[in-house]
Amino acid sequence: MESSHTDTATLNLFGMTCANCALRIERGLNKVPGVKEARVNFARETAYVEYEPSVDMNQLLDRVESLGYKATEQTSSNAEETTKEHERENRNLKIRFLISSLLSFPLLYAMVSHFQFLSFLPLPDLLMHPIWQFVLAAPIQFGIGFPFYKGAYRALKNGAANMDVLVALGTSAAFGYSLAVSIRWWTETSSGSVIHSSHTHFPPLYYETSAVLLTFLLGGKWLETIAKGKSSQSIRALLQLKPNLATVKRGDDWVEVPSEYLKPGEIVRVRPGEKIPTDGIVTEGFSSVDESMLTGESIPVDKQKGSSLLGGTVNGNGILIMQAEKTGSDTVLSSIIRTVEEAQSTKAPIQKIADKVSSIFVPTVVAISFFDFLLWYFILEPGNTNSSLEKAIAILVIACPCALGLATPVSLLVGTGKAAAKGILFRNITSLELTASLDTIAFDKTGTLTEGKPFVTEIKVLGGEAETILQKAASAESGSEHPLAKAIVKEAESQKLSLLPLKNLQAEPGGGIRAHVGEELILLGNSEFLKSSGAILPEELSLLSQTWEETKTVVWGRMEGETVSWILIALEDRLKSTTKQAIDELKSMNLETVLLTGDKSKTAEKIGKELGITEILSGLLPEDKFKKLTSMQNEGKKVGMAGDGINDAPALAQADVGFAMGNGTDIAMETAGVVLVKGDLLRLAEAIHIGKATVRNIRENLFWAFAYNIIGIPVAASGFLAPWVAGTAMALSSVTVVLNALRLRKD
């Protein structure tokens, strides 16, 4: 039986020049036996590959190499090396552009000097001489422009076509035609002199077309690289959160070791201002920790013994001693980076449109260019090679698929990065796209709308002072780990009541506890437990208990000292501080809200009334929530589900988009499409805002990318666009798409 287990890896890619390069690598990797899925992100220059254990990493790297590109496996240890390699590529691109600009400037000057409105510019004969123009243009064409030929060759070798093919064809046609005319002019010149009396005697050439075009293309790619670099800053910022060193206790000494070598259980010291090296628990010390880089919360969080710490967050003023719990790839930060990278490498349904168009785009453009040349040469301007060639070249150079290929991934890159910085993790791009279309949000109650733990809300005592009786009850409960006991102790502490010594604690599961505080016997638990102990419940408290129990949990208490005292404590799970604001914000976005809970009806109705949720279903089992979501979807609604527990997993999976609270269970977070790291519902509203803005941005990019080609190709074919102008427009189109995507960072 074939194993269902698969491995995943991210590859760093080098040498891609356009979106079709990404498509070719993606198809090549998907053809490797054992590869389940490969997705290439052109904007991030990475490939995400899911494969069977039988596949060797070298097979994947060799496959990329065979396509004419370079690849390395992405690991935490080679991140800096990869960054340096990309920086070298960018630096070489910049140098090529500057040299090309220097060589092509005289050719550009000679060209624009022919424009009527610039006829006043002086034009030396040397600038128009064929040999001089050849000397300037040849290094650009075959030296600086060689990578375009290389890219075109490997594309055609693998049965595909890309932007390099268009550039190589267009510039070669212009340069080759000019070279042929130059040779003919030279052989026909009777004197053989290299200098004529006037530049008007020189033949019409297109050296400047190829040279200036290549220069503009290089400039555009350089600007595009800079813009793409800015768009991936969020991921780099997350990677930089990982501290390099950790101070670990070895014997009686503290030594610094690389944080990647930390092991669970090791004791680590974190000084003021240092980044916390890994996930763990505070064992000594007190400090405030800035967790904003992971959770989006600007207010530092107090940490003391027993508090949890997240790797990458920044320690405040105190020294913390911690015990490492999760290290390496198991930390929350590593999980966030992995989730964001995987999300950014997935493809949104909207991206498939661009992919299909890009795959047939280049052959179509080449065919249009060829037939346009024939049309002008044989019909519209018979025999006019110069004019016909110019129009064909303009078509080739304006119709670059890069803007189309960048339209979706760059917007997604910026959108998911922005979300991650706010504590919102889109586990896949489909979830991000679907988030924008939601019209209904269903909520679990406990742990989603509420804190998920009990708090004391009301206290009633008989036979003594309220504070004294609460102090004794909390002292008795201090020996219990039950959530209700912890809530009672916390209430006493909030009232500045000190706990008294406890002895003879006995617990009865599902009932309550017996304990002595001083000489008094204290019973605490439910009414049945007290009755079974022989206590007769006061009628006054019994009536009050019946009222409270409709919406709350009730704990009875009896103190048997010199006199008998009674205490009745009501506890309930309270709303998170931001829940009401979040629900109001969702309503302002015209989203319908629904409460789905397994709790009793009156509790659910009370919560619904506080929040203004009118559709409330209570007493639901997990399968009931699943069925309700299915029913709403059958009505044509696009439904999101927010939950935090194992019992919410079926509903989270069934929803169009599942939102898991980051403080919830692992299975809920694995099932959902979006994780709200801090469990704050305000982040849900923010996620929908980001989803809508990102999808809107993608549609804008696709519109302009399509419109650009739909308008540009006919204009070029009609002869209204010089090749060098077409090259400029093509280069700027990609930059425009990236810059438009970067607007998401400010929206």
| Catalytic machinery residues | 444
Euclidean distance between CA atoms 419 and 526, whole angstroms: 46
**Token duo for residue 200:** 């008007």
Closest CA to 490 of 437, 453, 521: 453
Written in H, E and C, the secondary structure of 48-103 is EEEECCCCCHHHHHHHHHHCCCEEEECCCCCHHHHHHHHHHHHHHHHHHHHHHHHH
- Tokens 């002292």, located at residue: 475
Closest CA to 332 of 206, 412, 238: 238
DSSP assignment of 150-166 equals: HHHHHHHHTT---HHHH
**Strand-pair category, 674-676 with 657-661:** parallel
Closest CA to 663 of 301, 236, 271, 304: 301
Q: For residue 510, with 0-12 CB atoms within 10 Å meaning exposed, 13-18 middle and 19 or more buried, which class applies?
A: exposed
**3-state secondary structure (DSSP) of residue 244:** coil
What strands, in cross-sheet order, belong to the sheet with 592-596? 424-426, 674-676, 657-661, 639-643, 440-443, 592-596, 615-617
What strands, in cross-sheet order, belong to the sheet with 553-560? 450-462, 564-575, 553-560, 520-525, 512-517, 502-508
**Token duo for residue 144:** 């600086």
| Residue 188: its H or E element | helix 163-188
**3-state secondary structure (DSSP) of residue 313:** coil
Euclidean distance between CA atoms 698 and 691, whole angstroms: 11
Closest CA to 426 of 693, 688, 738: 688
Which residues, 6 or more positions from 81, have their beta carbon under 8 angstroms from its beta carbon? none
Alpha carbon of 688 to those of 348, 419, 531, 691, 724: distances in Å? 16, 10, 52, 5, 43
128, 110 in Cβ contact below 8 A? yes
| Residue 661: its H or E element | strand 657-661
**Token duo for residue 293:** 């880089």
